Amino acid sequence: MNKWKLLPRMAAKGMLQNGTVYYPYLMAGIFSAFTWFVFSSILCNDLMMKLPRSAYAWMMLSIGRVLLGLILIPFLYYANSFLVKRRTKEIGLYSILGLEKRHIGIMLFCEAAMTYGIVMAGGILLGVVLSKLLFLLLLKLISVPMDITFVFTWKAFRETLAFFAVVYAVNFLNGLIQVGKSRPVELLSGSKKGEKEPRMAGIYAVLGVIFLGAGYVTSIRSQLNSEIFIDFFLAVFWVIIGTYLLFTSGSVMILKLLKKNRKFYYRRENFVTVSGMLYRMKKNAAGLSNICIFSTMVVITLTCTVVLYLGLEELTHFVYPYDVLISYGAKGPAREQMEDKVQETVKAQGGEISRVDIYDLRSFSCSLSDNRFESPLSNFMDNYSVRFLTLEDYNRIEGEQQTLEEGQILFYSEGKDAGFDTLEFMGMPLEIKEEVKNMFPYPKAEKDSFGSGYVVVVRDKEALAQCTRAYADLNGVTDVEGFLESSYRDVGVVLEGEEPVKERIVNELLAWGRAQGEESHRDGLSLRADLHSTYGGLLFIGILFGLIFFMCLLLIMYYKQISEGYEDRGSFEIMQKVGMSHKEIRSTVRRQILLVFFMPLAGALLHTFAGMFMVENLMAALQLFDSHLMAVSAVMISLVFILVYGVSYLTTAKTYYRIIS
């Protein structure tokens, strides 16, 4: 038969005969193509730009697709490299039997083309079937009406074909280079070569501890400030490098210590386990470090997703506590007129009022030094918002009966409690009668260093005027009288009932406010919906990325088990010939699996514990400050992951045992 007709058949036959390694690779490729196609289908669909508030989700998905590509390219490259290594003996045999390297290259091209075709067909078909379902999930997460039609887009189809064409072309070239630079004899014996002990293992161990410690310290000492995202990427970088160095050097040092212990090493089950792991020490360390890192990614990604999902409602009300907030200048409507209008509008629309707050407010930008509020600095990041209320308004908002003497104030910090006994405002000494622990509508958030501010409650309007005059004098305000009159009167309303009723009430109040000459307004309902849309896109990405990381983890586990199974099969055959029973083989395998099982799992849980300090700050950057929810979610996700991880590892271990048996 002509070689050119035979080569495609050999490629197909090779894939079938190596189904143990090819089928998981194809499944991983299909899932990768499916997720990419889903992202592209949603991004390329015109509906995304027409739906209300969908622009935020579109932006999140665009960023997510870029990150998805950065994850899938190296992962599929790693899986393909494993395939090529598993085929080296077979390809070496083809070379000895007469196939030239160009013929082998054509065969590899046929395999790559078949793999690409299967992956594209399976991934896109699965995407077509499930895209609408996932699109509806996205709409649910971003709180957008779901009575719409999702249509197939050819642009997403073309983008998926193009992206994976590049990925599989790179994988094909990698395989071609690996085979092309090796001689037939090297290909036949390449998988049987033991690995040399890594040089400078002690130095690597020290560097690993330093890098891992740097990552942990960066995470634990991170603060919610403008550098939080830089700290996050630095912590991830240090931990990945430290994990690889420690697994590479630490595993070798531990195995060598076990080998020196004659009572331990010269027992049949221990001898086989230790010598087998020393035989492939570098590859074993790389596999364990990858499993550890991807396990950490799975736990942290799912924890963030669960926390964001459970805390989303609390988050939106933290940022926008009022359903509608309207601010008027000094010449706005009277307090009674405002309250009557709110009551009238709510009653006319059939709604209910949870609370109505009407209060006069003065806000100043100040720098803070010890307990002294001073003139604002040129760098606005170092300034704080200081709001002034009168005692009358405070008592009305909080439903209290506080009293103040002349020169006394109530003090409130939106961040950590200040712990001041006295306060100096622009040179004016003020006595703090009490530091208030909570105040609506300024929720307490001790970790919020971005938007944190302070509230000062003064005795009456005269005391407020004295503070305002002190600020004007110290900051060179020329029109002092005009500055004294430039206060604001806020009307904040919290409603109950159905969303459509709330929307009608808010719209009518906003229209009335504009007619009365409002200074500004905040539509809490719409702004919360915008946040739902933005964070709903993050939730969608978190769900898919959690599945992707878990898929990567399973494939790495599986490939590690079967590669070690094929490498260990010859050793166990020899052991059986010299008298080792199946029971003893099982005991040896069980010891090796337990060792390999616990090392990356322990590392992942340790990474997760250290990483939760950083996660807490990242969630705080999204205005989510519920530390208890984060701790409970992390513990529950970790427990579920340990269970699933154990089942997955034991399942793949059966393949290992089946191979060596």
Long-range pairs for 627-630: beta carbons < 8 A, 24 or more residues apart: 629/307, 629/310, 629/311, 630/303, 630/307
Mean pLDDT of the chain: 82
Average pLDDT score over residue span 145-163: 78
How does strand 324-328 pair with strand 488-496? antiparallel
In DSSP notation, 289-351 reads HHHHHHHHHHHHHHHHHHHHHHHHHHHHHHH--SSEEEEE-TTS--HHHHHHHHHHHHHHHT-
Counted residue by residue, the chain has a size of: 661
Q: Which residues does 647 contact at the CB level (< 8 Å), separation at least 6? A: none
Amino acid at 586: R
| 520-523 and 488-496 beta bridge pairing | unpaired
pLDDT in tens, 238-273: 998 888 888 877 777 777 777 777 777 777 666 766
230: pLDDT confidence band, cut at 50, 70 and 90? Answer: confident
CA distances from 277 to 129, 287, 568 (A): 44, 12, 10
What does the pLDDT read at residue 505? 93
pLDDT of residue 97: 66
Task: Quote the tokens at residue 369.
Answer: 């030094």
Q: Strand, coil or helix: what is 455? A: strand
Give the mean model confidence (pLDDT) for residues 103-128: 89
The residue to which tokens 């990483």 are assigned = 611
Global pTM reads 0.79
Residue pLDDT, tens place only, 389-413: 999 999 999 988 999 998 899 999 9
Indicate whether 119 pLDDT > 90: yes
Question: Distance between CA 323 and CA 341 in Å, rounded?
Answer: 16
Provide the pLDDT confidence category of residue 148 given band limits of 50, 70 and 90. low
Token reading at 254: 């531990």
For residue 423, give the nearest of 470, 376, 369, 472 by alpha carbon.
369
Phi-psi region for residue 370, left (φ > 0), alpha (ψ -120 to 50) or beta?
left
